Structure 1
Amino acid sequence: MLQALREKSSGLIAKIVLGLLIFVFSFFGIESYFQSTQESWVAKVGKTEITPEQYRDALDTERNRITSMMGGQVDGAMFERPEHKRRVLEGLITRQLVLQANEDLGIVVADQRIREQIQDVPAFQEDGKFSAQRYTTWLASQGKTTRWLEERIREDLATSDLPGQIMASAVITPREIDNHIRLRDQTRDLRHVVLPKPAADSVKIEDAAVEDYYKSHGSEFMTEEQVALDYVEIDAAKLNVDATPDDAQLKDRYEKEKARFLSPEQRLVSHILVVSKGGDAEAQKKALAKAQDLLKQVRDGKAFADVAKASTEDLGSKAQGGDLGWLEKGVAEPAFDAVAFEMKKGDISEPVLTGEGYHIIQLRDIREKKEKPFEEVKAELAKEFIETERDRVFNDIAGKATDVAYSDAGTLETTAKVANTTVQKVPLFSRRGGTGIAANPAVIKAAFSNQLLVEGVNSDGIDLSPTHKVFIRVADHKRPEQKPLDVVREEIRAKLTREALAKQAKDAADAVLARVKKGDTLDAVAAESKLKVETNKGVGRQAANLDSALVAAAFKLPRPAEGKSEAGTVALPDNAYAVIVVDAVTDGDVAKVDDAGRESVRTQLQNEVAAVEARAFIETLRKATTIEISEERLTTQ
């Protein structure tokens, strides 16, 4: 049998199979044969995945938006709540649903709109006008290309356009406007009587009732779970760093980092971009042909800026005739740089291929590089030397502390010794946070984690900032427990008393209402108890001279039949009740509302209807699309 196997393995087919296996393993890596694909998406909308990176970016964006809106006065713990994370994810899902709907419907955002959006960004403007140089510099600082930004803006516009078009399609008829005005401006003639509140001493809550309530509602009287912490703090700002550099050290640093103190060569550049749509060989061939045709127009005497305004596909510089402003090396893509920094002033290049497409480059001017002398930057170098030394010491201490906190996880004393500091304490606080480091969301999250509460070990290093780290461990843990009855006895008695008084008041109001509905007049019933009936005619929805609860109750009652009344009860503050009677209803006069008023109503109704229709559209998309959410990855991000 072994001989048969040997013979088969030396045959032509075996060699072909072996060759294929060698190719597969060399191309993909043999480890890929043994490893299974691990999914990492947070959600899937149809076939499109929402990645952890996209989800974290959205969380950060929402955190920054809320923090900015609240002037920094915001409880950081709210950003860790499951409902907040779910809301952010739902926004991403809705965004993806709309993008897919756009694609299905063939809706495309026009280039002109993208161009206008870019030019309206304040960060890209100088003296109120678009600056191509600021635009290019910003892209370089973010490590992004013009194509990336244009696609991002295109996506943002696309996600708002379709719901916006649906909302704009909402139609409000003149009859609907009339009906709204009649209801909005409607007035009612009403009478009401406020019943006397039951006397506080009319209710006596026995101890047995208090005890029964305590037993059946124990969850209402639980203490909050709390922890107290020991912690070790390493703060670079508080480190004593003995570092006074001499001139020799500073000069050495200056020589090594001389490039920093050069005003680099800059080149004033314009360009014409032809995008290679599709990215395949045929698309590149067409793009090159178009670029060569545009280059011929320039060389035949047509102004470069005019050709750029008419034909460049870089929306950011189109209106400026392709002007990119003053560029330094490294701002543009390497292929672009290589050509632009070899050209002579006034030159126009052949088409240059980059990841964005083909560029025709015009070099309009050159600024030579300049060097700052040592004496001019000496103070700056000294400050940087000290800060660098401080960072080095911080990183060294933090690294050693991290190792010790892990290896000796049963105490923070050794960690404190390594950090040359002492163990500090945080008093008991709940999951809502406390003072000092206990106000930090990351500290709160770690303090109530299983790692610290169940395993009883030190935390990993928690970064409060890039140069500020803490290690924590739980010093005391108080689980939720039911408060003793004697502690909450009077709280329960007060609650039961309020409820009993409220029931008495409601029962009295219901009794009066029952008599009125049987035929007794409100005036007669009130007279028996020597109560005053208040009469108000022509009361509108926004009446300021009556309690808002009374007004709201009056407008909830049905329209009375001719010659009849409608009655009801209404709860007022502090356990008071009133009985209210509506005698007549007068609709608003449509003829008194001018054209501007009608237009205001139309806009209001259109917005309300449009919002409902937009939500319904999104809901339809959700029902028609398979949506999967990874609950585990949602909560761990």
Structure 2
Amino acid sequence: MLQALRNKLSGWPSILVLGVCVFAVAFFGIESYFMNRVDTFVAKVGKHEISQQDLQNALNDARQRAAQTPNSPYSPADFEKPEVKRQVLDSLINQAVLRQAGTDLGLVVTDQRVRDTIAGDPGFQVDGAFKPEIYRAVLANQGLTPTGYETKIRNSLEVNLLPGVISSTTIVTDADLDAYFRIAGQKRDLRYVELPRPALTDATVADADLDAFYKAHIADYTTPEQVSVKYLEVKGADLKIGEPSDIQLHEFFEKEKQRYAQPEQREVSHILINVPKNATPEQQKIALEKAQKIAAEATPENFAKLAQENSEDLGSKRLGGDLGWLEKGVANAAFDTALFSMQKNEISKPVLSPDEGYHIIWLRDSRSGNAKPFEEVRGQLAADWAKSERARLYNERAGQLADSAERNPGSLEPTAKELGLTIQTSPMFGRTGGEGVAADPKFAAAAFADDVLAQGNNSSLIQVSSDDAIVLHLAQHVPATPKALADVRDAVRQRILDERVDAQAKKHADELLAALQKGGDVTALAKAPVKTIAGIDRRNRTSAAELPPAVVAQVFLAPRPIDGKPNWTVVATGNGAYALLAVDKVVDGDPAQVEKTQRDAVRGQMMDLLAYAATLDYIEALKAKADVKISEDRM
């Protein structure tokens, strides 16, 4: 058979066919033996992937903002809920869609804008001036690098490029403002009567009714699932750090000398001539010729004027191109190289930098770096060494905790003995957390994870904070347990009776409303005091302080009177009680009485809201056209 096959494959046609087959296998088949791609993204927008780590970072940021925001509608535990995770993921998808749309439209965040944004952050300033040494120290304290932080700022600015363009085209007319102030300044006169709660007419509850109600509302009479866990904890604050020796301090000083030195700096101005992204050769030529012409004309005396007239860097243009004092690494590589090779008062030829264009640089002044002597910074060195040593020791101990717990998954005892740690036990808590350490959502989530709850293993390392790590193990598990009907019989019976009264109260209120709509007299019908309040102001409701909160909420939602006749409304005031409400008179606000400053402020707020709504609509339109994939199982 092999000989027959060889005979059939003789000649150039057979060689050609064999070559095609080899080509196909080489490029479309054999790689599957060597490459097995496993998708790990939570969502994908076009070619951009949103990883599980991206989502976790966003959740951590949102959780931190919620914790720092008074009266936040979210608690830390909320960010473990699937619906909240989905909201955060949707936000990341929206950001990806906006960045891609901005790129497609040629919108670019320049390096200069990133620098201006960072320099304008009050957290990096002293007396209103940007301080590079403070910038580096703050980032180091947060475990960030300048490059990583600049990327974060650039991404944030990129997301806001398109919303900024949309906002600039939003218009709020004077008629829109007048309509707003007529409503905002509105005053209303009202009458209301609180209806007495009807008496219970039938207090008999059959056993069958009790049983049926109990079964229909079994979740209300169930003790939630709870656990107690044993755990080992490593806290940086508890680690003992001795006093550093002179040798250790000198070694630390040599290693971190740049932290205790004033780096070489250059005082610089520039003129930027933009080069469009994906510029044609002709566009590049035009930009270069313009930059060369300006560079040829520029002198220290006229540089500021030329910058104000020609520079396309809006951040520094009005300052005559002034960028202040810069040190190495702040600007992009091309700009940096040119700047630090120049002499004082020298003006450069055009310097091309990526994603920006041509810079004409004027070096106005320079100052050399100077290192502080060891003795002068000894106190700061000792504090920094202790902080660094504590972080090193913490990371080491946390790593040992994680490794040992993984080697001994069935118990915390070997790890506690190996590391000299004390096993602690939490009180019982549910899936939403509990008290003490169990209040941390990461701790509660780990306790109820399948690996811990079902399989009985130690948890992975839980990073409660930057210097607090925990490993836990299940101590006790109490499943969700319905309470016996006999134990909750009285509570069930009372709820049935309360619901009967609620139904009677609602029926009575609806009957009164129907009679009032036919022209009946409210005093005679309600058989309760009718209260009148005049001139309730939409913006200042102090006159309505005596009203039940539910009635206050309905005052400006209730219909206007028609032909002088009020429209009565039923309002549920809570706990099965009801009130009747009528608006007798409505006086709109007078837009002519509003000062210009207030009109301008409201116009700005309305423009922001309209721009926000338009941006959301635009995002939805973009998403409808984009290829968006979501992996719910990886959230």
Q: CA deviation at 1:587?
A: 5.4
Q: Corresponding residue for 2:351? A: 352
- The alpha carbon displacement at 1:445 in A equals 1.5
Q: Please tell me the root mean square deviation across aligned C-alpha atoms, in Å.
A: 5.4
Contact 1:115-1:316 at 8 Å conserved across structures: no
Residue in 2 that maps onto 1:479 = 479
1:371 is matched with 371
CA contact (8 A) 2:109 2:154 kept: no
Counterpart of 1:294 in structure 2: which amino acid?
I
Tell me if structure 2 keeps the 8 A contact 1:42–1:49: no
Larger radius of gyration: 1
Query: Aligned equivalents of 2:79 and 2:621: distance in 1?
Result: 28
CA shift for structure 1 position 133: 7.8
Distance in 1 separating the partners of 2:374 and 2:290: 51
1:70-101 deviation line (CA, Å, top 9, x unaligned)? 28997311122222222233344555667788
2: CA distance, partners of 1:388 / 1:115: 30
TM-score by length of 1: 0.75
Q: 1:97 to 1:132 in 2, by over 3 A?
A: same
TM alignment of 1:72-87, pairs within 5 A = 75-87=75-87
Residues 439-489 of structure 1: per-residue CA shift (max 9 Å, x gap): 222112211111111221011111123332111111111221211223322
1:435 and 1:33, CA in 2 relative to 1: closer, same or farther beyond 3 A? same
CA gap 1:33/1:433 in 2 versus in 1, 3 angstroms: same
Q: Which structure 1 segments of 5+ residues have no match? A: none
User: For the structure 1 residues 378 and 623, does the alpha-carbon distance in structure 2 shift closer, same or farther, using more than 3 Å as the test?
Assistant: closer
For 2:271, give the aligned amino acid: I
Give the conservation status (yes or no) of the 8 Å contact 2:230–2:423: yes
List per-residue Cα deviations over 1:110-140 (Å, max 9, x = no partner).
Answer: 99x9899959945399788786989998999
Secondary structure, aligned partner of 2:360: strand
Superposed CA offset, 1:176-214 (max 9, x none): 7899799x65656x6868456316x96244555333322
Aligned equivalents of 1:378, 1:249: Cα separation in 2: 12
The 1:68/1:160 distance shift into structure 2, 3 A limit, reads: farther
- 1:579-605 deviation line (CA, Å, top 9, x unaligned): 78x7xx865467x94623799999799
**Uncovered stretches (5+) of structure 2, i.e. residues with no partner:** none
1:595 aligns with 2:597: no
Q: Which residue of 2 aligns with 1:497?
A: 497
1:159 aligns with one of 142, 158, 163 = 163
| Kept in 1: contact 2:570–2:580 (CA 8 A) | yes
Cross-structure match for 1:309:
308
Tell whether the 8 Å contact from 2:120 to 2:130 is kept in structure 1 after alignment.
Answer: no
How many residues were matched structurally? 612
Q: Per-residue deviation at 1:308?
A: 2.8
* d(CA) in 1 for partners of 2:422, 2:124: 52
Q: Deviations over 1:305-348 (max 9, x none)?
A: 33333333333333333333223233333443333333332333
Shift in Å, 1:360:
3.1
Tell me by how many angstroms 1:437 deviates: 2.1
Q: Percent identity?
A: 31
Code of the residue aligned with 1:197 in structure 2: it is P
- Aligned counterparts, 1:50-199, within 5 A: 51-52=50-51, 55=55, 58-70=58-70, 75-94=75-94, 121-123=120-122, 142-143=146-147, 153=157, 155-162=159-166, 165=169, 168=172, 172=176, 194-195=195-196, 197-198=198-199
- After TM superposition, the structure 1 = structure 2 runs for residues 186-585 of structure 1, keeping only pairs within 5 Å, are 194-195=195-196, 197-198=198-199, 203-241=203-241, 243-279=242-278, 282=281, 284-298=284-298, 303-355=302-354, 356-506=356-506, 531=527, 534=530, 544=544, 552=554, 575-576=576-577
- Amino acid paired to 2:411: T
Q: CA 1:558–1:315 in structure 2 vs 1: closer, same or farther (change >3 Å)? A: closer
- 1:607 shift after superposition: 8.5
**CA distance, structure 1, for counterparts of residue 563 and residue 611 of structure 2:** 35
Structure 2 length-normalised TM: 0.75
Deviation at 1:232, TM superposition (A): 0.8
* Letter in structure 2 aligned against 1:290: K
**For residues 114 and 596 of structure 1, do their structure 2 counterparts lie closer, same or farther at Cα, with a shift above 3 Å needed?**
farther
Checking the alignment, whether the CA contact within 8 Å between 2:182 and 2:591 is kept in structure 1 is no
Q: Once the 2 structures are TM-superposed, how far is the Cα of residue 569 of structure 1 from its aligned partner?
A: 6.1
Q: How many angstroms does 1:608 deviate by?
A: 13
CA distance in 2, matches of 1:629, 1:90: 11
- Give the secondary structure class of the aligned counterpart of 2:428: strand
SS of residue paired to 1:458: coil
User: How far apart are the structure 2 equivalents of 1:157 and 1:372?
Assistant: 43
